Amino acid sequence: MSKKRVLVIEDDQDVSKILQALLSSLDVEVITAADGLEAIKAAGKVRPDLCLVDLHLPKLNGLDVIRIIRAMPGLGEIPIAIITGNTTADYIKEAVLLGVSDFLVKANFLSGGSLDRIRRLLDQRSSRAPSAGRRDERMKVLVVDDDEDVRAQLLTRLAAMNVRVLLAEVGLQAVAVAAAEQPALMLVDLDLPSMNGLEVIRVVRSLHAHQGPGVLIVTAKATKAAVEEARDLGVLHVISKTDIGTP
């Protein structure tokens, strides 16, 4: 069986080399491109199973690269993940509308994190064929928290309610999951890496013509100003993390 192909689109050669070394542990073939035009040529030639795209590229920016790849025959549905050091809400919203599967914080990825998420994206590519199984009609609830213990506690409590639980560890990932899965309810921590909880809510709200999902804030601490801003964004309730374990 041939190896899966990952196209890394990154203009910083040092970063590109680190990404190649990290991805080698997944037993994939890594192809690199250092600018937007080179990326388009490489995508058409190698037909990658996954693209990792930096937003800020020479010659053609990352969003334009994604648009063009999406329009290529046979590449319209491949998983694409953004790798970024920093970006804006407008960039995030546009990337989500282009069907980006995930957002990976560059510093976290370069330190060895996020490889499990890359592996899941590659598995997602393998299972694109429609399933003959019954569709899961349970209500979707997205839990957004960077604390693994808190995610586990919420997952346990929610699973007992017969809902489908989705998980996100960082703000950018939460936006991507919310856009792709359209959850009915989100449980969001305020203090998150890459984007804080209020920014996540704001961006998710902007992706919907109407109100979008219901939102509960689950936080260890919140200032009065943060709570007031959350209320203005239509948050249903603010829950203390100390109450999670309470039956």
Residues 93, 186, 211: CA angle, nearest 5 degrees: 60
pLDDT above 70 for 10: yes
pLDDT of residue 245: 61
Mean pLDDT for the chain overall: 86
pLDDT of residue 159: 81
pLDDT band at 20 (very low <50, low <70, confident <90, very high): very high
Q: Indicate the pTM of the whole model.
A: 0.68
Element (H, E) at 14: helix 13-23
pLDDT band at 31 (very low <50, low <70, confident <90, very high): very high
Instruction: Give CA–CA dist 164/72, Å, rounded.
Output: 34
SS3 percent helix, strand, coil of the chain, rounded to 5, is 45, 20, 40
Residue with the larger pLDDT of the pair 106 and 141: 141
pLDDT of residue 95: 85
How many CB atoms are closer than 10 A to CB 206? 14
pLDDT of residue 132: 45
pLDDT of residue 128: 54
The pLDDT tens digits of the residues spanning 56-115 come to: 999 999 999 999 998 898 888 899 999 887 667 778 888 888 888 888 877 777 766 678
Single-letter amino acid, residue 141: V
Share of the chain above pLDDT 70, in %: 90
pLDDT of residue 84: 81
CA distances from 165 to 22, 31, 55 (A): 29, 35, 30
Would you state the structure tokens that stand for residue 155, as one six-digit string?
Answer: 């997952």
Tell me which of 2-16, 64-78, 101-115, 130-144 is least confident: 130-144
- Assign residue 59 a region (left: φ > 0; alpha: ψ between -120 and 50; beta: otherwise): left
pLDDT of residue 211: 63
The DSSP call for residue 224 is H
